[in-house]
Amino acid sequence: MWYVPCVSSGKRIAVIPGDGIGKEVIPQAVSVLKATGAQVQLSYFDWSADRFLADGTTVPRDGFASLAGDFDAVLVGAFGDPRVPSNVHAKEILLGMRFKMDLYANVRPVRLLDSSLCPLKGVEPKDLDFVVIRENTEGVYVDSGGIFKQGTADEVAIQEDVNTHKGVERIIRFAFEYCLQNKKADGTSRSRVLMCDKSNAMTYAGSLWQRVFREVSAEYPQLKSEHMYVDALCTQIVRDPRQFDVIVTNNMFGDIITDLAAALQGGLGMAASGNIHPGKTSMFEPVHGSAPAITGKNIANPFGAILTSAMMLAHLDFSPEAVRIEAAVLEAVRQKKLTQDVGGNLGTREAGEWIAERVRESSSAA
């Protein structure tokens, strides 16, 4: 048996801590999740570098089919381990989940909880509350291309950027629907969708994105549609993040923009994400990776993983429980109950336990 069901009932969640700090932050996210009292059934999977090194398995046979068929959501830590330099297991597990389960929308909220966390001058929580919707199944990550004459002076490396009409259309539509259906933290409506590309240089893919964005945006006249080239967007995010609401972009630009944006929230340790296909089993993971340099020291920030569990609960219709987690994280930030990467002096476990205790209190009062 490659997963271990536990006792309670309700929504079924597969938990895959993975490697490195994933194995430290996910237990904290799970104990916070349990503290909400949400009716969930957790099953743990050992897909990881340890498993790969022990028996050569990256993903067991029918693994993705089981995740998609037997579970309502998947909670993931991180993959990557210096003992597996090829990173083959990480690629097969993480990209496998995104591609084979067709989790086409990577949703990354960028929200500042306290001005002390932002490296920019004069930026307050009300100024930084946007969402990046990153296309998750196409682009340069599909592994199409090749190397010719490798190791010679004539070496040629080609990495294809794959953009399909279906893929571009559904991610742009997702962004408009997200904008309509989600509010900002202060309760005000979202109203603007900005498409980010590099269509001045990448003209073929750019023309498809531009055309589809125009077509889909015409169906949402109540929302403002905007456009920026990715280089300009990076400048503007740093110069004035207030101007952004919902950003939709391709796989690679989304990857880069969200690391930059995470720095404005307090760093990679604070950022949450969901890999979503509406109506299908979706997967939730903190934005950070396995961070081998800080693994095993009880210093990793668990807040990204904890906020990820809140995102997952909201997705599973446990909105009050998600709100209680977010409120406890906000309180921890205000009271400086933080790990050292964001200016505190707590360890991973201590920071996680502080949040779990607050959530337990608010859940019993609810």
Q: Which residues sit at the interface with ligand ATP, rule CB under 6 A? A: 21, 78, 80, 268-269, 288-294, 300-301, 304, 341
Minimum CB separation of residue 347 from ligand ATP in Å reads 11
Minimum CB separation of residue 28 from ligand ATP in Å reads 10
Closer residue to ligand ATP, CB minimum distance, 236 or 340: 340
d(C-alpha 156, C-alpha 11), whole Å: 49
Closer residue to ligand ATP, CB minimum distance, 208 or 270: 270
* Catalytic (active-site) positions: 141, 198, 231, 255, 259
Minimum CB separation of residue 271 from ligand ATP in Å reads 9
DSSP-derived secondary structure letter, 150: T
Whether 11 contacts 75, CB under 8 Å: no
Closer residue to ligand ATP, CB minimum distance, 24 or 135: 24
What is the DSSP track for 142-174? G--EEEESTTSTT-EEEE--B--HHHHHHHHHH
d(C-alpha 216, C-alpha 249), whole Å: 14
Name residue, tokens 């022990």. 54
Closer residue to ligand ATP, CB minimum distance, 38 or 346: 346
Mention every residue, 6+ apart, whose C-beta is less than 8 A from residue 53: 83, 84
Closer residue to ligand ATP, CB minimum distance, 223 or 342: 342
Minimum CB separation of residue 284 from ligand ATP in Å reads 15
Structure tokens at 361: 């209190």
Question: Phi, psi at residue 55, to the nearest 5°?
Answer: -135, 10
Mention every residue, 6+ apart, whose C-beta is less than 8 A from residue 173: 216
Distance of CA 339 to CAs 27, 30, 75, 288, Å?
A: 16, 18, 22, 15
Position with the least CB separation from ligand ATP: 289
Mention every residue, 6+ apart, whose C-beta is less than 8 A from residue 230: 196, 197, 198, 249, 253, 256, 257
Minimum CB separation of residue 78 from ligand ATP in Å reads 5
Rg (CA), the chain: 20
